[in-house]
Amino acid sequence: MKKIISFSGKGGVGKSTLLVLMLKYLLEKFKNLDILVIDADPDANIGDIIGKEINFKETIGGKMTALKDKIQNRQIPLDVSKDQIIESEVFEALIEMDDFDILEMGRGEGSGCYCSVNNTLKRVIDVLSKNYDVVLIDAPAGLEYFARKTGRNVTDLVIVSDPSKMGIHTMKRILEVTKEVDLRFENIWVLGNRFPENSIRDILEKEVGNIKEEYVKLLGFISNDDEISKMNIIGENLLQLPNESEAYKIGKELFAKII
């Protein structure tokens, strides 16, 4: 099994939450899977959701800032290429948890550009993903990430939408942009999150039905779950969401379609 699964969608639709529920499912179902979580969203933090404090120095942004200082102070050996140095810094940024690893993109300092970090990230995903069975990527909300072809090795793209016009609009834009820049995936899964159990679901189902490409499929729907909101507000590790949670029970069935 070799899967690189990226969660995308409009801001706030539940990308990070569902990624963590999928992680929970993978950890419970497969005991010996090597899993890497890449938090590619500079504004958010998977660590916050799973109760792991990650400080700036441990992130790729932090490593890159330190590297810039080293280069300016001429502390870098001349016989090593810049790419090699960046690569080794990224390996150093791997955070080892008990059952999986995390790579945290982190914020840049000031209004720094992420282009070079993003370019590095592309290559590092190639290199790193070889060492893992499953890579879960939390993509930033915008379309720029795709326009830059950052997700080029992703096998399964999950596009999350909430029951809103904008959520569905962003879903469609992601489909357009990935096509424009010729990013190919084995599967694109549309996942409705926080959808009430009524005819509103038909609207998203119809939208996905209208899409001609056979690799674009409706994964299914997850309802709003008060337990998830509660754990978020009190800052509890979402991996400890009770197995009786309705969202998790349905989530497991849906994630099993991907793996």
Ligand X SMILES: Nc1ncnc2c1ncn2[C@@H]1O[C@H](COP(=O)(O)OP(=O)(O)OP(=O)(O)O)[C@@H](O)[C@H]1O
Dmax (CA) for the chain in angstroms is 64
Q: Which is nearer to ligand X, 13 or 128 (CB)?
A: 13
| Alpha-helix residue ranges (DSSP H) falling in 30-81 | 46-49, 60-72
Residue 104 partner contact from Mg ion, ligand X, none using kind-dependent CB cut-offs of 5 to 8 Å: none
Q: Which is nearer to ligand X, 188 or 228 (CB)?
A: 228
Residues numbered 39-68 forming contacts with ligand X, rule: CB under 6 A: 41, 44
By CB under 6 A, the count of residues binding ligand X is 19
Under the binding rule (CB under 6 A), the answer on residue 12 touching ligand X is yes
* Residue 78 CB-density burial (10 A; 0-12 exposed, 13-18 middle, 19+ buried): exposed
Residue 129 partner contact from ligand X, Mg ion, none using kind-dependent CB cut-offs of 5 to 8 Å: none
Sole residue written with tokens 């029970």: 249
Under the binding rule (CB under 5 A), the answer on residue 16 touching Mg ion is yes
Number of helices (H), then strands (E), belonging to the chain: the values are 10, 8
* String marking each residue 18-57 x if it binds Mg ion according to CB under 5 A: --------------------------x-------------
Report how far apart, in Å, the C-alpha atoms of 173 and of each of 10, 32, 147 are: 10, 37, 11
Q: Which is nearer to ligand X, 224 or 237 (CB)?
A: 224
C-alpha 227/C-alpha 224 separation (Å) is: 9
Q: Which is nearer to Mg ion, 16 or 120 (CB)?
A: 16
Under the binding rule (CB under 6 A), the answer on residue 240 touching ligand X is no
| Alpha-helix residue ranges (DSSP H) falling in the chain | 15-29, 46-49, 60-72, 82-92, 115-129, 144-147, 165-180, 200-209, 226-234, 246-258
CB of 80 to Mg ion, least distance (A): 35
Q: Which is nearer to ligand X, 86 or 139 (CB)?
A: 139
Q: How far is CA 18 from the centre of its chain?
A: 9
φ and ψ at residue 147, rounded to 5 degrees: -60, -30
Single out the segment in contact with Mg ion by CB under 5 A; choices: 16-24, 61-69, 95-103, 108-116: 16-24
Residue 58 partner contact from ligand X, Mg ion, none using kind-dependent CB cut-offs of 5 to 8 Å: none
Q: Which amino acid is at 153?
A: N
Residue numbers at the binding site for Mg ion (CB under 5 A): 15-16, 44
Binding site for ligand X (CB under 6 A): 11-17, 41, 44, 141, 193-194, 222, 224-225, 228-229, 232, 247
